Each structure stands twice: as C-alpha cells, then as structure tokens.
Amino acid sequence: QTIEETEWLLKLAAQHSFLYGAVGWAPIAEESFPALLERLSQEPKLVGLRHVVQAEPAGFLDAPAFNRGIQRLRTCGLIYDILIFQHQLEEAIRFVDRHPNQQFVVDHAAKPRIAAREIEPWADNLRELAKRPNVVCKVSGLVTEGDWKSWSTETLAPYLDVCLEAFGADRLMAGSDWPVCLLAADYKRWWSFLREYFATLSDSEQQSLFAETCCRTYKIPRLSTQGKAI
C-alpha cells in the first residue's frame, strides 16, 4: 500500500496495451489526498482505488476522514474496491449507505470462511449488501479462503450460489486474485473451474460475468469472453 506501487502499476499499464486499467492505492484519509488525487486522476489507466481494510481495526470504514476522501472519488469517476473479511460486512453496508452515488466493487465476495464450512452470517450480510445497486461483486480469491490442498466444487459451490443469487450475473465479475491464488491453485485451474461452474448460465449471462460487468464498472474497453477487446 504505497504510492510508489500505484505509480509502478500505472507505468506498466502505460507500457503494455493489454493492461486496460489499474486499481491503485492512495492515502484516502490523509490531508495530502486531495492534491494527490488531482494528480492521479490525470492517469488514463487509473480506474479505481483500494485499501486493505481487512487488516484494519473495527470502525475503519466509519472514520470521518476516510469517508471525506471517498466523497472525492466520484468527481474523478474512480471506483472504490472494498477489500474486507466477512465479519466486516455490516460495517461495509453502513459505509456504502453513506455514498449512494459512488460505485463500489466488493473484492473476493468479502472472503467467507470456506475452510470452516461457515456460510452464515456471511450469506445474509452479502445479500443485504447486494440490495445496494451501486455495488458489484468480484468472484475471486475463494480458493485461498478454503482448504488450500483439498478445495473442490463441492466446498465452493454454496458460496458461489449465494453470490449469484444475491447479485445476479450482471453484477458479478470473474477475477483471478493472481498471484495470491497460487497458494491453492494456478491461474489456469481457477479459470477453468469458474468456466465449468458457470457453464449453465446463458451466453449473455456468461458474457456479463466474464467481461461486461468488469468493463462497464471500470469503464475500460469492452472485451469478449476470451478477453479480447471488441
């Protein structure tokens, strides 16, 4: 979580045409943020910001300074990615309700306790969050919340079912969580799993989940389900 890392990501995106955008980090709660945001917002491939809230104490998303910073994002057209653990969902709901005109992405489906086979209260809280139309959900990072060595369709299915029920295909986006996913599965295996799991969806639903939701949300070029710009 450094400005240097954000600038490095933006430099990579500028150098490689296949990188359509980057979600970076900035000190949203600090006094220096407005001036920094003015500079960062000039970067054409900066699509959003994220803070690792999962590592913060309870109440972080309630802090006035952080919320003042979030209010500035909408004027720049930037998304805010919510990275939390499942026990922080109620706090995230309060947070989102303060910013009804800001677009949010909840990363990794708010990290349910898959390894412990616990689905509540995560499921109820995720459904409640999904009632906010300005939130979409990233289906990623689930293998590392399960048993790294023995995760399977059987163990992940109940959680994916809740995501699909709560958000619908048009508000879900597939993601890899690479390179963190390598702790439990390589990129190809995870992507193949998602393809197989969502194979029963219609073509248009799969197009939304694997391409359109991401492109619409982050305002990047439309992609085919093969990841090619169209």
Q: What was the pLDDT predicted at 221?
A: 83
- Torsion, Cα of 211, 216, 218, 221 (10° steps): 70
Phi, psi of 92 (to 5 degrees): -65, -35
Which one, of 197, 132, 108, lies nearest residue 158 by Cα?
Answer: 197
Query: Which tokens in the block code for residue 121?
Result: 């209260």
Q: How confident is the model at residue 67 (pLDDT cuts 50, 70, 90)?
A: very high
Q: What was the pLDDT predicted at 77?
A: 94
Is the alpha carbon torsion for 28, 32, 38, 39 positive or negative?
negative
pLDDT tens for each residue of 145-167: 999 999 999 999 999 999 999 99
Q: How confident is the model at residue 44 (pLDDT cuts 50, 70, 90)?
A: very high
**Domain coordinates of the chain in residue numbers?**
52-218
Write out the CATH class of domain 52-218.
alpha beta
Predicted TM-score (pTM) above 0.75: yes
DSSP for residue 223: B
To which H or E segment does residue 32 belong?
A: none
pLDDT tens for each residue of 81-96: 999 999 999 999 999 9
Is the alpha carbon torsion for 124, 174, 7, 216 positive or negative?
negative
